[in-house]
Amino acid sequence: MVTLSCALAACVLPRSTENPVHTFLLTLDESAWSAGVRAAQPGIHGVLVVGLPQAEAGFEQPRMAYLRRPYEVSYYATNVWVDAPARMLAPLLVRSLEATGLWRVVVSMPTVVRGDYRLDTSELLLQQEFLQPPSRTRLQLRAQLLEMKEQRVLGVRSFEVLEPTSSDDAYGGVQAANRAVTHLLETLNDWVASCLRGAGKDAC
């Protein structure tokens, strides 16, 4: 009975503060992003529909992933994202596309709006790698831009950013991840703009 009482008490006692869980956000560096807006003719390309980013297997959850040796994914025990990286990235992607001024409106899925163009992203991977000093955060994403009226694929491209960390811990990885997001979205927007300009197959 004593053992059972102790077990039941353990279920309702608050979590120990010795190892608190730290929860982190993925966001844009707004000051850096503002300097990168390049739109010359706002809204010229109509309506863009943006699909929800699709994550690689093992990265669909809020757990923060890291590697200490190739091919073996581990997760921090007391450090997590506030949401899955794909769901955190979705509104940032929309905001960055809106900031270019290329679109009359940018709409995220799900929506009944057909749109003039559609941007789908997949193969999202976000991990901190301790394979060499200093550790680095890897962010990768594959994008596909479609023209909806003719159902044409304008371009497909894979993006990857490797950002060194300022410290070999979870928080250093978070800071690097946020810098990587800003860099990747800026590069993605430049690519979208080049596809819309018809800069050639090699550009897309």
Mean pLDDT of 21-25: 97
Summarize pLDDT for 33-82 with one digit per residue, the tens. 554 455 445 668 999 999 999 999 999 999 999 999 999 999 999 999 99
- Is residue 10 pLDDT above 50, yes or no? no
On the question of pLDDT at 5 being above 50, the answer is no
Q: How far is CA 16 from CA 13, 20, 21, 75, 79, in A?
A: 9, 7, 10, 20, 15
In CATH terms, is domain 47-203 a member of 3.40.50.10610? yes
* Percentage of the chain lying above the pLDDT 70 cut: 82
Can you give the residue ranges of every domain in the chain? 47-203
Give pLDDT, residue 39. 47
- Res 145 pLDDT > 50: yes
Is the pLDDT reported for residue 100 higher than 60?
yes
Rounded to two decimals, the pTM is 0.84
Residues 6+ apart with CB under 8 A from 66: 73, 74, 75, 76, 127, 128, 129, 130, 135, 173
Evaluate if residue 14 carries a pLDDT over 80: no
The pLDDT assigned to 198 comes to: 79
Predicted confidence (pLDDT) at residue 202 exceeds the cutoff of 70 = no
Q: According to the model, what pLDDT value does residue 29 have? A: 76
